[in-house]
Chain A
């Protein structure tokens, strides 16, 4: 789920940037440092749309660097247990299938896939229903419900299910 947060970060700047474009440089540096990272507490920072205010710069003793406390808005994405989301299948194997929804990696084990689906590895690994009407293979879009999440500094990983009403395949890779 996406949230809009207001956070404060300390950004350090080299004296060569002290000039008319100081604020712009600060914003760019903040954006570069923060966008795309995953924080254990908030999730994946998807974008920094705006900065609310720039703090007073303080010069560090010993070096010429100045630090600014920047208050900024950011859009974060964080999967929650119980949430329903759409994802794209990345690989299928006999234990289940792996999918991703942006920065979130999802695993759906075969325990949480309805019994109609059987694993077929003849030409291309996939899960197929008995009447062959629905297939889950690499590139298929699937709607899942998150059953457990694990968020750390490097990635966000979830275990999900499609064994409930209204979950399952929503698009084919063609």
Chain B
């Protein structure tokens, strides 16, 4: 039994091994040609140059060409550590100098896995090349209130709603797996409802994007959701980040996904968690189904109003899918994807929402302001492709006003133009579609 001073097999078996190795090398050269699996090469590593030459042949497969330094035994610099051991040479971390603080912890892949900054950057570039070679971009999806919503069983106080849920569940359990949208997880005591159209959305997105999940829920919750959304592990595989993997509990960051900002888009119903990546964010409406979420999220609980057998369609996910597909075709439209920025494509897609709309604001902000363009609603309207002006003209199509009675509103009514509240702008922005003007008419004066 080896004593704990050493766990090295070579030391234990003595120098015998080293001596035998030289003799063995001579015989290996003759045996290797008859090996069953590909002849393992004795040469330690090919040049990075030769790898790049053969790179062009593999563009369509979406395969990541791993470019590595010439020799694999080149430690330090240690590329990363797992459970305190270098991933390349196996040396324990405590023996070495204190590690640089810029280490990226990839806890969602494995607890205790950390990469050095240079290694993380290298992998980021590799991932980008791989994904682009497969004609895809990267899409990060939030779970709660974006793709689905969950609630604890203990929070459903209304007995009637509880009965309704149980009845719906019984009906759902008779459906084939791909048609189900309501789940009950006894071991977590949670009810989960999928957003209408979520499976369709994921399938469409899988064709143009590499999908990731980034949620603030716990890891077991995230894994359970991915198991029902993606039973064959095709869509997400191991690309699931949960609350414990995120460095900051209140914010989300693209760093740990090893994604390059110009090729990543995010779909999330909250924008406050993405302070550094607002340009990558497709801010969507919140999906509220259970009554316990209403005080926090607003809106109405769909559970109360829906029919047990008939699902109310939600236009958000199909609209988001259309926008994302649009961005994808814009990105890959040119001869080469080099230099394209997905954020610019997203901004371009956003400017199509209110294309052709020309608006005038009335009693929304003081008209004598120095620069009305600085007003947030003005900027929002411009981002969505609408033209804004201070005075009405023949080209004006909409007048934004909180109430009736102003000059501009009366002009609009006389000429048959739309009169809508400012909420119409925010609703259009969140649902990524021109909102119906009839739903945002100001209240008639009493």
Contacts and interface: CB of A to CB of B under 8 A. Distances in A.
Interface string B217-230: 00000000000000
B72 A163 contact: yes
Contact of B64 (A96, A118, A124, A163): A118
B113 interface: yes
Nearest to B46: A115
Contacts of B173: none
A30 interface: no
Contacts of B79: 109, 111
A165 B45 CA distance: 13
Nearest to B57: A130
A82 B9 contact: yes
Contacts of A8: none
Interface in A121-147: 121-125, 128-130, 133-134, 146-147
Contact of B62 (A95, A120, A124): A120
A114 B40 contact: yes
Interface residues of A, number: 59
A123 to B, nearest CB: 6
Nearest to B81: A159
B2 to A, nearest CB: 7
A169 B40 CA distance: 11
A150 B92 contact: yes
B85 A148 contact: yes
Contacts of B237: 93, 121, 124-125
A147 B37 CA distance: 22
Contacts of A9: none
B241 to A, nearest CB: 12
A128 B90 contact: no
Q: Interface residues of B: mostly helix, strand, loop or mixed?
A: loop
Nearest to A92: B238
B62 A96 contact: no
B4 interface: yes
Contact of A115 (B4, B68, B115): B68
A55 B373 CA distance: 90
Given A83-B9, A109-B87, A121 B210 contact: yes
B63 A128 contact: yes
B167 interface: no
A109 to B, nearest CB: 4
B interface bracket (residues with beta carbon within 8 Å of A): 35 or more
Nearest to B237: A125
Given A115-B45, A148-B91, A159-B87, A134 B63 contact: no
B394 interface: no
A22 interface: no
B2 A93 contact: no
A5 B2 CA distance: 11
Given A41-B4, A82-B10, A166 B40 contact: yes
Contacts of B306: none
A91 B238 contact: yes
Contacts of B210: 121
Contacts of A54: none
Interface stretch (B126-134, B189-197, B329-337, B377-385): B126-134
A10 interface: no
Contacts of A91: 238
Contact of B9 (A80, A119, A122, A157): A80
B105 to A, nearest CB: 12
A110 B85 contact: no
Contacts of A151: 7
A118 B40 CA distance: 16
B68 A111 contact: yes
B278 interface: no
Contacts of B66: 110, 113, 115, 117-119
Contacts of A46: none
A118 B68 contact: no
Given A91-B238, A96-B87, A107 B82 contact: yes
14 contacts: A78-B2, A81-B8, A93-B109, A94-B258, A107-B110, A107-B113, A109-B82, A110-B68, A111-B68, A111-B79, A113-B66, A148-B90, A150-B84, A170-B37
Q: Which 10 A-B pairs have the closest CB atoms?
A: A148-B90, A82-B9, A109-B87, A147-B90, A119-B64, A148-B85, A165-B40, A80-B9, A111-B88, A157-B83
